[in-house]
Amino acid sequence: MDQPVKFERFRALHQAPGAFVVANAWDAGSARLLTAAGFAALATTSAGHAYAQGLRDSAGALGRRGVLQNAAEIAAATDLPVSADLEDGFGPAPEDCAETLRLALAAGLAGGSIEDATGDATDPIFPFEHAVERVRAAAEAVQGQPFLLTARAENFLWGRPDLDDTIARLQAFAEAGADVLFAPGLRDLAAIRSVCASVDRPVNVVMGLTGARFTVAELAGAGVKRISLGGSLFRTGFGAVQAAARQILSEGCFDYAAAAMPDAEVSALMSDRRLPDRLA
């Protein structure tokens, strides 16, 4: 499906009544599974992608090229719009964010997010004005193109639970050109409601992580438009494998296989195409 068509479908989801769930895929296979499950859009997950590579989910662990390659493979595996977790834009400068957005657009993505976290635990959040300039540069890089930019205010993930500053950042990000706003880590519906009431852009909230868990209906009632799942689906799969391994080793039985998807069902979701020989 053409990228502009995917983009229009993605934008329409943000304009429709109520809230929708975007499922986070970590590779092309999971993208096919989640597409078949019936989601209307997908996103990538930096955590799931890192864990699948045997790496911790830390800033820059996979590099811009690795993240965009993975995102491109996910986008090519589905006819759904895909939004990528583009972390901190892979560099501190506004120009870094702009280049990342241009590359994400070229990778066939319908959207992507830029966060204001630095990755430095001693100084975790970019200064206000610099954070805004980074979002402005990202927005200008894809202005007029089929791409939905999400801007993330990361205060609550980095021990800075300052709701006023978070709202001020989101408002400034919207003015700088962001299409969707996201403040991960908000702890209660009152805070989520305050954010949604304070901005004029669709708001994304992540569910499936530790802490409070609200229903789609509750989040929609608070004003949320998009609900993402982060790395929670990947961790759910890991949890099932861990439980199966423990059963095999401690009980010597294989009952876990009764809950596994049949091979024929998995195979039916996948493509007949062949991957290139990367050693050639």
Domain boundaries, the chain: 3-231
Provide the 10 A C-beta neighbour count for residue 190. Answer: 11
Q: What is the pLDDT of residue 61?
A: 83
pLDDT at 9 over 60: yes
pTM of the model: 0.95
Average pLDDT of the chain is 95
Mean pLDDT of 159-176: 98
Fold held by 3-231: TIM Barrel (3.20.20)
pLDDT digits (tens, 9 = 90+) for 123-154: 999 999 999 999 999 999 999 999 999 999 99
User: 12: burial class by Cβ within 10 Å (0-12, 13-18, 19+)?
Assistant: exposed
Which percentage of the chain shows pLDDT scores above 70? Answer: 98
Q: What is the pLDDT of residue 1?
A: 64
Structure-token pair, residue 80:
């759904």
- C-alpha 108/C-alpha 140 separation (Å) is 18
Which percentage of the chain shows pLDDT scores above 90? Answer: 91
pLDDT at 280 over 50: no
- C-alpha 31/C-alpha 47 separation (Å) is 15
